[in-house]
Chain A
């Protein structure tokens, strides 16, 4: 284990999240079992006060998790200069068996907490507090990936081995049979590109039809297909190298940190798309998230499409 300042910062914040998360969990537990909006008992009075505490804590955790996710990726990126063989965050993340799960959990938690806050927003803006019980029941489940993430992160940093030689992204994301992605390479790259634009088309259609269920499904599909097509097709144009496929090197200085912008657009777009739709299924209030979602998704598509286009215009050939 190496204690670089960045790792200590992450672990310290993890400890705080763990403590506050436990407090919120206990609150959620009590509310989930004893909440009764019609009762006038002292217990209900205490619970309604405590629901504030739970909400404050969850807001705090989410507000910090957002920049911390970028900081985590950045930290693993800087660690790649110490660990032999790693050239970007991909190598460091995969130097530990569960590194990929950690990243996925982090992302999942961001989405879950974001949805929770949307629900909370709908709840407190209604004088009857219709979702208080529901949101704390949900938190009971949402907290589990949070605790799992913290446990994984602690064991991730403690089992990082500096002298172990790891694979770089060049081998992790190659068509070779032993990589994660080999399954995806069976399908031709152009099919993924077609799927990518196709799913974007479906989201556009869903915006037009204002069909909430379709919006949720199409945004979820768009998110998954966008990441796969980014790895398989678009990243090669960012690096201008037909063999270099990596979702992490985008975040490095050599590519002007373009990955941070790309991922922000993609995650914000799909989050608002799904969250807004879920919310409008619950509450009657009109919330204009779909426009935000549309804007971010379109920005992402324009930006990522610009890379192959510019490459083609400059060189006259496709990679």
Chain B
């Protein structure tokens, strides 16, 4: 049939590659490096997406923010109670939280105020409140901090307390009651949890207001309808659902890896030209070889086929090496340097493990981006080589 394999030709192709080892090895190395880079970036993006999607499930179903003149502002707590008479809403929790900028280290802490008697809106917080005695925390006016926060504070000689500076310019001394560890490192590394009263004092907020409102809905399918009802009642409130966040995450990561890929395609194009140049510049020895092959009865088709085997073996080998070293780099070494591309550079960025995920579609994608492109670059040069005339090159 049309595409049958010829093992003798394959054997010849491998030997031919080995005969020009140094020239081919250079191409092999560069190609593996390119594929390795590309594979690592896609794998990191995939792994982070997976980690985010798993934290996504713990996020509130609907978050309500109030916007005045396009800027987010505090929500009156009275609204939280008024929302309860919309059918289908299970629970409404006003949240008091924000960022506290700690100048000496140049980092932002996430400060969350919680109430001992309230139902917590996220499983992480529920877990935390079970571990620590919140009533005691409220009485003593102290806080619980994440591991990252603890480290930063210790570096600045705050070992058992911290002085918050309120908007009025007063110092608010808060002792550290404990440090928590969490499996979901992404969301708790930079976290400070303290009683609501203290949070109000630190942020200088009115106690009749909240930062935003979290709504829990009994039936997930009703979320869209409930959002409609809420925004009809309070036009200045913006509702963010879990699904909105999921879509925007996906867009961000597709954008980031797409952006990298566009840069990559410039690289690949340059490489394409190098390959084209290298394979079309035949040495006199190679020309002689083709001449001899033709003289002993090889057809142009055989030579093209042999060249195709050569480039296929080379690119497939580079593809396999690139992929496997990327797997090692991303999951065993946890992708030093490159992960910053996706994570940002903040001091307090959590140190978390990239969860292992290996999907076939990505391998196919990488294959399509490497092997066919390499073969395309060698297509015309190998035809040119095959159409040399035996008598001319052997003369």
Residues of A within 8 A of B364 (CB): 67, 71
Enumerate B244-273 residues with CB–CB distance to A below 8 Å: 247, 250-251, 254-255, 257-259, 261-262, 265, 268
Give the residue of A3, A52, A56, A71 whose beta carbon is less than 8 angstroms from that of B261: A3
Residues of B within 8 A of A82 (CB): 247, 250-251, 254
Shortest B256–chain A CB gap in Å is 10
Q: Is the CB of B265 within 8 A of A8?
A: yes
Shortest B358–chain A CB gap in Å is 16
Supposing A52-B304, A56-B379 touch, asked if A4 and B386 sit within 8 A by C-beta, the answer is: no
**A49 interface residue, CB < 8 Å from B?**
yes
Q: Is the CB of A49 within 8 A of B361?
A: no
CA of A60 to CA of B304, assembled, Å: 12
Enumerate A49-96 residues with CB–CB distance to B below 8 Å: 49, 52-53, 56-57, 60, 63-64, 67-68, 71, 74, 78, 81-82
Interface string of A84-123 (1 = CB under 8 A from B): 0000000000000000000000000000000001000100
Q: Is the CB of A5 within 8 A of B379?
A: no
Q: Is the CB of A60 within 8 A of B376?
A: yes
**A23 interface residue, CB < 8 Å from B?**
yes
**A162 interface residue, CB < 8 Å from B?**
yes
**B205 interface residue, CB < 8 Å from A?**
no
Residue of B nearest to A81 (CB): B250
- Among the interface residues B3, B261, B361, B375, which one has the most CB atoms of the partner chain A within 10 A? B261
**B368 interface residue, CB < 8 Å from A?**
yes
Q: Is the CB of B262 within 8 A of A9?
A: no
**A16 interface residue, CB < 8 Å from B?**
yes
**A144 interface residue, CB < 8 Å from B?**
no
Interface string of B32-65 (1 = CB under 8 A from A): 0000000000100000000000000000000000
Q: Is the CB of A52 within 8 A of B369?
A: no
**A155 interface residue, CB < 8 Å from B?**
no
**A283 interface residue, CB < 8 Å from B?**
no
Q: Is the CB of A16 within 8 A of B372?
A: yes
Q: Size of chain A's interface in residues, with CB distance under 8 A?
A: 32
Give the residue of A2, A49, A56, A63 whose beta carbon is less than 8 angstroms from that of B255: A2
Q: Is the CB of B254 within 8 A of A52?
A: no
Shortest B34–chain A CB gap in Å is 13
Residues of A within 8 A of B42 (CB): 5
Residues of B within 8 A of A176 (CB): none
**B108 interface residue, CB < 8 Å from A?**
no
Q: Is the CB of B387 within 8 A of A20?
A: no
Residues of A within 8 A of B372 (CB): 13, 16, 64
Residue of A nearest to B260 (CB): A5
Residue of A nearest to B247 (CB): A82
Q: Is the CB of A121 within 8 A of B379?
A: no
Q: Is the CB of B383 within 8 A of A20?
A: no
Residue of B nearest to A120 (CB): B2
Q: Is the CB of A57 within 8 A of B379?
A: yes
Supposing A8-B261, A8-B265 touch, asked if A74 and B361 sit within 8 A by C-beta, the answer is: yes
Q: Is the CB of B2 within 8 A of A117?
A: yes
Interface string of A1-41 (1 = CB under 8 A from B): 01111111100110010001001000000000000000000
**A124 interface residue, CB < 8 Å from B?**
yes
Residues of B within 8 A of A64 (CB): 372
Interface string of B2-32 (1 = CB under 8 A from A): 1100000000000000000000000000000
Shortest A128–chain B CB gap in Å is 16
Supposing A53-B383, A56-B379 touch, asked if A16 and B373 sit within 8 A by C-beta, the answer is: yes
CA of A2 to CA of B387, assembled, Å: 43
Interface string of B282-316 (1 = CB under 8 A from A): 00000000000000000011001000000000000
CA of A117 to CA of B375, assembled, Å: 19
Residues of B within 8 A of A23 (CB): 380
Q: Size of chain B's interface in residues, with CB distance under 8 A?
A: 32
Residues of A within 8 A of B304 (CB): 52, 56
Q: Is the CB of A56 within 8 A of B383?
A: yes
Interface string of A131-170 (1 = CB under 8 A from B): 0000000000000000000000000000000100000000
CA of A92 to CA of B5, assembled, Å: 39
Residue of B nearest to A4 (CB): B254
Shortest B354–chain A CB gap in Å is 18
Residues of B within 8 A of A124 (CB): 301
Supposing A5-B365, A20-B376, A82-B247 touch, asked if A49 and B300 sit within 8 A by C-beta, the answer is: yes
Shortest B298–chain A CB gap in Å is 13
Interface string of B356-377 (1 = CB under 8 A from A): 0000010011001100110110
Residues of A within 8 A of B258 (CB): 2-5, 7-8
Residues of B within 8 A of A78 (CB): 361
Q: Is the CB of A6 within 8 A of B365?
A: yes
Residue of A nearest to B382 (CB): A56
CA of A6 to CA of B368, assembled, Å: 10
Q: Is the CB of B387 within 8 A of A52?
A: yes
CA of A135 to CA of B127, assembled, Å: 72
Q: Is the CB of A3 within 8 A of B373?
A: no
Enumerate A253-291 residues with CB–CB distance to B below 8 Å: none
Residues of A within 8 A of B262 (CB): 3, 8
Supposing A2-B254, A5-B261, A64-B372 touch, asked if A20 and B365 sit within 8 A by C-beta, the answer is: no
Q: Is the CB of A3 within 8 A of B259?
A: yes
Residues of B within 8 A of A74 (CB): 361
CA of A238 to CA of B68, assembled, Å: 52
| B interface residues, Cβ below 8 angstroms from A | 2-3, 42, 247, 250-251, 254-255, 257-259, 261-262, 265, 268, 300-301, 304, 361, 364-365, 368-369, 372-373, 375-376, 379-380, 383, 386-387
Enumerate 18 A-B pairs (CB-CB under 8 Å) in ascending A order. Answer: A3-B254, A3-B255, A3-B259, A9-B365, A9-B369, A16-B372, A16-B376, A52-B301, A52-B386, A56-B304, A56-B383, A60-B379, A63-B3, A71-B364, A82-B247, A82-B250, A117-B2, A162-B251
4 more contacts with CB within 8 A, not counting A3-B255, A12-B268, are A2-B251, A2-B255, A3-B259, A52-B304
| A interface residues, Cβ below 8 angstroms from B | 2-9, 12-13, 16, 20, 23, 49, 52-53, 56-57, 60, 63-64, 67-68, 71, 74, 78, 81-82, 117, 121, 124, 162
Q: What 3 pairs between A and B have smallest CB-CB spacing?
A: A3-B258, A49-B387, A4-B254
